[in-house]
Amino acid sequence: MSIDPAVILPAGLSYPPVAGNGDEVRDNEGNILPHWSYLLESIAELGPEAFSERQAKALRILRDDGATYNIYSDAKSPSRIWNLDLVPNIISSDEWGTIEAGLQERGELFNLLLRDIYGPGKLLRQGIIPAEALFSHRGFLRACHGITVPGEHELILHGVDLIRDDDGKMLVIGDRTQSPSGAGYALENRTVMSRVFPSLFRDSHVHRLAAFFQQLRNKLISLSPHSSRSRIAVLTPGPRNETYFEHAYLANYLGFYLVQSDDLVVRNGFLWMKSLDGLNRVDVLLRRVDDWYCDPVELRSDSRLGVAGLLEAVRAGNLIVANPLGSGVLENPVFLRYLPDISKALLGRELRLPSVQTHWCGEPDDLAYVLEHLPELVIKPIYRTSGISSSAGALLTQAELVELRLRILANPAQYVAQPVMAASYLPSFQDSQLLPRPAILRSFAVASNNSYSIMPGGLTRVGGTESEFIISSQSGANSKDTWVVASEPERLLESNSRGDDLQVREAENINLPSRVLENLYWMGRYAERAEASLRILRTTFMLLNGEEPLTPRLRQKFRAAVAKVTTTVLVGDLISDQDLVRQLQDGAVLSSIANNLNSMLFCADETKELLSSDTYRVINDIRDALADLNSTFTVARLSAPEEALDPLVTALMALSGLNHESMIRGFGWRFMELGRRLERATQSSALMNCLLSTVLPEPEQSRVNEALLLTLEGLISYRRRYGARTAIQTSLDLVLLDGDNPRSIIYQLTQMLAHVRKLPNSKGYLHELPPAERIMVEGSALVRLSSLNDMCADVDGTRLQLKNVLTELEALLLRASDMITDRYFDHREQSQQLVSSQWEGV
């Protein structure tokens, strides 16, 4: 069935024809292709308003999932929600069969090419590849010569960027072989689309993506030498990396560890993960760190993203890295120029899927052609790095062309030139209408038993304007889900259960990297620290703006309380609104609420793979509330300022509740709880010491007691138990000694002692208590053995016993924190090369 392009579809959501041959929706006669008909009819019936609502829903889902992409050039807001255009890219099953066969063939060729480059060097000896084309590329690593991967495939993952040529056929414009990105985002796109358009997705009979990721998991498990226990990890540069969401998402989806360089160490030729119970061997590493940064000893010496000695472990055959180190050389665009000859030499035939015509300036004839036709070509550096991008001659001024010519002549071997390839157009929903936008497709292949398994579809990216030249996520391009609509049953992949022994997997669930545990611990501490500061600020605002004015002595008392809890020195004798706002908003102040919340959010990002979607939704609420507070909370708008703090306090309590109800009671949860309880005990002790250690006359003492109870969320309980009038002794009983009050200090000490007893302790203590547990017992005894009468006694205007108990308790808690840190967390020493071997300018 085809639709007349002249007919306006219902609700006004029609897709206008595109001039020329670049339209992927219509044939040469202008008729909508059959596999696009149902989608466009459904969108038209939906209408622009309803479609906009679906787009907003998709954005909410992406936000709640924590799907982000970091833009390096945006210093103010580098982390952005992943862009998804809800109009999918549709490819018919028949056409996909041809594309799939070409991608499988290309994967086989690049696998053989990688093996030859670091092995026999047949192509070099026969002159098929010029030596300068290979050795002048920074992706070639001499240190990787002779390293092989078990099995038939060196190249485990292969990404290919495709566009349509003038004839409508797919054309390869680039290969991604170091650590191809985008597969995880494609899976997230599919998840969102199936939720936003469930009926449309189901009725379109779209090929599923799960089999591709199942094959990836099976392949990585098969590379492990251990049949019953395979420890596989995903190496990420960390939360600041542009695609960190994808790293965490894939690690969680595949069931692998997500590790950073700090989590790993090489000992005795093996790679080990530093975890709570010591070192655990890693057999396979799926890396998302570029080649040069993986080993600071043999590669880039200033790298903090790699592991010293990693190449040593790989070379010894004790570790498999996917993709193998050195595979970045395959991204050299010079190879496209020689690919027909390479294919004939290695496969005995030319590739079915052609590549874009490429001229290498290292060849004299090519150089002369490029310089003569510079305004008509796209000039690309052969090695991709930050700050260096492609240049379209047609978009350059005469002066810029002259400068480009001089750069090429200065180092011709470092540049290739390609004709300007106009990307074909797909419909994109923008400004409440369907508009044509240029698009490119990145496909993905994973090594299987015999050949390569291809993801059905891939990640489609579309430009923001009709004339967009550079279509990339870093430039702000949107993404699309790619639907291969099925006309035949899908092939199901049998599950490989190797390495999934139940007892082993259960043991692995509690075996987390030390870095992850440390971040969970500090996530709990920063959350409690921010909440304590918010609570005392909220109470102070309420008292300052209350019906009954504060005496100068009380103003000074609460000024001291704010300074104590927030560990901030406030300027002036009396607290001011400006002081309070600065303490709330100024992220440059180390102990400010903004700084504590940002630190908590960073710890959450570091442990993203362990947090549920509901938990991350609350974390995003905190992120948004903090941003809104910073932009709207000013001294000039201090009408009922305590109400502006309520959303943050509520969100922090929701986060605490979710972690308590959703997290498995493993070591990760215990360390988060330890951090929370220790910080709450510390903050409560400091607040009590500040407010109650000095004897005040009535009614000032009652107001201070009430403020303390209000801040520690005990005022309602107190009134129900003791009546309306607050007294110092009963107030202390509730917030210090009541074991049933989850805000009391004794409750925190009891919980900490229970958690510490569950942690692994060093052997050799016999029946002696370990140091951290001893401190918790000592703190509990200190509080439990204290007499309320003695602590409330007036000694020259001071409650000396109370002050001494709380001061000693604070010192004990500080010692406990130091012991936990020293015993369980990692302290990394940086490795350095004795002699630098990196390329100049890398």
Specify the CATH number for the domain of residue 404.
3.30.1490.270
pLDDT digits (tens, 9 = 90+) for 140-197: 999 999 999 998 999 999 999 999 888 888 999 999 999 999 999 999 999 999 999 9
The pLDDT of 649-660, averaged and rounded, is: 90
The pLDDT of 644-661, averaged and rounded, is: 88
Of 231-240, 316-325, 573-582, 680-689, which gets the smallest average pLDDT? 573-582
Please say if the pLDDT value at position 438 is more than 80.
yes
Residues 787, 657 share a domain: no
Cα–Cα distances in Å, from 8 out to 11, 13, 28, 41, 395? 9, 8, 20, 11, 37
Residues 589, 556 share a domain: yes
- Number of structural domains (the chain) is 4
DSSP secondary structure of 405-422: HHHHHHSGGGEEEEE--P
Of 302-316, 343-357, 754-768, 804-818, which gets the smallest average pLDDT? 754-768
User: In this structure, is residue 186 part of a structural domain?
Assistant: yes
Please say if the pLDDT value at position 436 is more than 70.
yes
Answer for the pair 697, 557: CB distance below 8 angstroms, yes or no: no
Residues 363, 324 share a domain: no
pLDDT of residue 754: 94
pLDDT of residue 7: 40
Of 117-131, 300-314, 513-527, 813-827, which gets the smallest average pLDDT? 813-827
d(CA 20, CA 446): 36
Closest CA relative to residue 215, chosen from 458, 506, 502, 491: 491
Please say if the pLDDT value at position 433 is more than 90.
no
The pLDDT of 408-430, averaged and rounded, is: 91
- Helices marked H in 68-129 — which ranges? 93-117, 122-125
Residues 541, 520 share a domain: yes
| SS3 state of residue 688 | helix
Contacts of 479 (CB under 8 A, 6+ apart): 82, 83, 84, 85, 185, 189, 459, 460, 461, 462, 473
User: In this structure, is residue 574 part of a structural domain?
Assistant: yes
d(CA 482, CA 206): 9
Percent of the chain with pLDDT over 90: 58
Structural tokens at position 773? 């547990």
DSSP 8-state symbol, 694 = B
Greater model confidence, 587 or 538: 538
Please say if the pLDDT value at position 497 is more than 60.
no
Q: How confident is the model at residue 637 (pLDDT cuts 50, 70, 90)?
A: low
Residues 344, 285 share a domain: yes
Q: How confident is the model at residue 560 (pLDDT cuts 50, 70, 90)?
A: confident
Contacts of 691 (CB under 8 A, 6+ apart): 557, 561, 704, 707, 708
Residue that is last in its domain, among 504, 528, 558: 504
Please say if the pLDDT value at position 317 is more than 50.
yes
Residue that is last in its domain, among 447, 479, 504: 504
User: In this structure, is residue 30 part of a structural domain?
Assistant: no
d(CA 259, CA 249): 13
pLDDT of residue 557: 85
User: In this structure, is residue 41 part of a structural domain?
Assistant: no
pLDDT of residue 578: 62
pLDDT digits (tens, 9 = 90+) for 211-240: 999 999 999 999 988 655 778 999 999 988
Structural tokens at position 739? 């074991």
Cα–Cα distances in Å, from 761 out to 370, 447, 780? 68, 43, 20
Please say if the pLDDT value at position 498 is more than 70.
no
pLDDT digits (tens, 9 = 90+) for 667-708: 899 999 999 999 999 999 999 999 999 999 988 899 999 999
Residues 722, 645 share a domain: no
Residues 343, 469 share a domain: yes
Residues making up the chain, counted from first to last: 842
User: In this structure, is residue 226 part of a structural domain?
Assistant: yes
Please say if the pLDDT value at position 572 is more than 60.
no
Greater model confidence, 346 or 231: 346
- Across-strand partners of 80? 69
d(CA 800, CA 794): 7
Answer for the pair 753, 681: CB distance below 8 angstroms, yes or no: no
The pLDDT of 309-320, averaged and rounded, is: 94
Residue 757 burial (CB count, 10 A): 13
pLDDT, the chain, mean = 86
pLDDT of residue 830: 55
Cα 268-274-275 angle, rounded to 5 deg: 140
Residues 653, 679 share a domain: no
d(CA 455, CA 452): 10
pLDDT of residue 452: 96
pLDDT digits (tens, 9 = 90+) for 135-145: 999 999 999 99
Contacts of 692 (CB under 8 A, 6+ apart): 704, 705, 708, 728, 731, 732, 799, 802
Cα 106-110-112 angle, rounded to 5 deg: 115
Q: For strand 84-92 and strand 478-485, is the pairing parallel, antiparallel, or unpaired? A: parallel
pLDDT of residue 587: 54
Residues 159, 74 share a domain: yes
Greater model confidence, 563 or 554: 554
Please say if the pLDDT value at position 306 is more than 90.
yes
Please say if the pLDDT value at position 772 is more than 70.
yes
Domain of 377 in residue numbering reads as 358-418
Q: How confident is the model at residue 763 (pLDDT cuts 50, 70, 90)?
A: low
pLDDT digits (tens, 9 = 90+) for 77-121: 556 889 999 999 999 999 999 999 999 999 999 999 999 999 999
Closest CA relative to residue 419, chosen from 166, 107, 177, 176: 166
Q: How confident is the model at residue 827 (pLDDT cuts 50, 70, 90)?
A: low
d(CA 409, CA 487): 53
pLDDT of residue 630: 64
Longest pairwise C-alpha distance within the chain: 99
pLDDT of residue 87: 94
d(CA 700, CA 704): 6
Residue that is last in its domain, among 478, 504, 530: 504
Answer for the pair 616, 66: CB distance below 8 angstroms, yes or no: yes
Q: How confident is the model at residue 278 (pLDDT cuts 50, 70, 90)?
A: confident
pLDDT of residue 739: 93
User: In this structure, is residue 836 part of a structural domain?
Assistant: no
Q: For strand 284-287 and strand 232-235, is the pairing parallel, antiparallel, or unpaired? A: parallel
Which strand (E) or helix (H) includes residue 442?
Answer: strand 433-447
Answer for the pair 293, 108: CB distance below 8 angstroms, yes or no: no
pLDDT of residue 93: 92
Residues 821, 735 share a domain: yes
Please say if the pLDDT value at position 506 is more than 60.
no
- Across-strand partners of 452? 447
pLDDT of residue 227: 54
User: In this structure, is residue 39 part of a structural domain?
Assistant: no
Q: How confident is the model at residue 487 (pLDDT cuts 50, 70, 90)?
A: low
Residues 275, 154 share a domain: yes
pLDDT of residue 841: 45
Cα–Cα distances in Å, from 520 out to 262, 526, 756, 805? 15, 10, 15, 30
Residues 695, 650 share a domain: no
User: In this structure, is residue 802 part of a structural domain?
Assistant: yes
Report the Cα–Cα distance between both ends of the chain, in Å, rounded: 55
